Chain A
Amino acid sequence: AQSVAQPEDQVNVAEGNPLTVKCTYSVSGNPYLFWYVQYPNRGLQFLLKYITGDNLVKGSYGFEAEFNKSQTSFHLKKPSALVSDSALYFCAVRDPSGAGNMLTFGGGTRLMVKP
C-alpha cells in the first residue's frame, strides 16, 4: 500500500525567507510524486510532479521540490516566500503499478507567510 506523511500541520515563515514543506512517502515501486495547493474555498491546484529524471523539479509560482530516494522524501521549497503563498499544501503519491491515476494524499500542511 502507498502512503504519504506530512509531518507538520503548519509552517510559519516570514515574507522573503525561504520555505520548506516536508513530505515523506512509502510505495512499493518507484513513486510518482505530486504537490498540490489549496487556497481558501477553492479546489486543489496542481503545482508540480516528479515522474523520473532530474531529482529537482520546478513547478508553478516559483516552487520546486527535491526527490530524495534514499530518504523517501519529496520536500517542497521556494527560495523567497510571498504572503500570497499562504495556503494549504498537499503532497501525493502514486504507485505506477496501480490502476488508473489513483493518488494517495497526505494530511496537508498549512503554510502561513507573514509580512
Chain B
Amino acid sequence: DAGVIQSPRHEVTEMGQEVTLRCKPISGHNSLFWYRQTMMRGLELLIYFNNNVPIDDSGMPEDRFSAKMPNASFSTLKIQPSEPRDSAVYFCASSLVLANTGELFFGEGSRLTVL
C-alpha cells in the first residue's frame, strides 16, 4: 500500500510567487494534517481535516496561507504571496480515526525555499 504522497519534494521560488503543495493521503484514512518544520520553531501543526472538513486552522500563520481538501484523496496547501520566512519543510500526514488511537502516517515532505 502506498504511503502518503507529497509533491513537489523540492520547490525553489522567488518572493511574491504563489506556491502550491499537494498531498495524497493513504487510502481509507479520514484525517489529514499539514505540518511545517523549521530549525527555529520545530514541528508546527498548521491545519487538520476530518472527513474533508477543516477542523482546526489556528496554526495557519496568516491569510497568505490556505488549505483545501476537495475530496478524500487530495489536499493542497497554498501560499500566496510567498515570503522568505515561509522557507521550511512542509509535511502532510494522514490517519484513520478508529477508536481514537490511530497514529499519524507522514509523507516525505516538501522542502520550500523562497528567495
Residues of A in contact with B (beta carbons under 8 Å apart) = 32, 34, 36, 41-46, 49, 51, 90, 96, 99-105, 107-108
Contact = CB atoms under 8 A, between A and B. Distances in A.
A101 to B, nearest CB: 4
Given A43-B4, A96-B100, A102 B42 contact: no
Given A46-B105, A100-B31, A102-B48, 17 more contacts: A34-B103, A36-B106, A42-B108, A42-B109, A43-B108, A43-B109, A45-B106, A46-B103, A99-B55, A99-B56, A100-B95, A100-B97, A101-B103, A101-B104, A104-B45, A107-B42, A108-B42
A53 to B, nearest CB: 12
A100 B106 contact: no
The dominant DSSP class at the B interface is: strand
B108 A101 contact: no
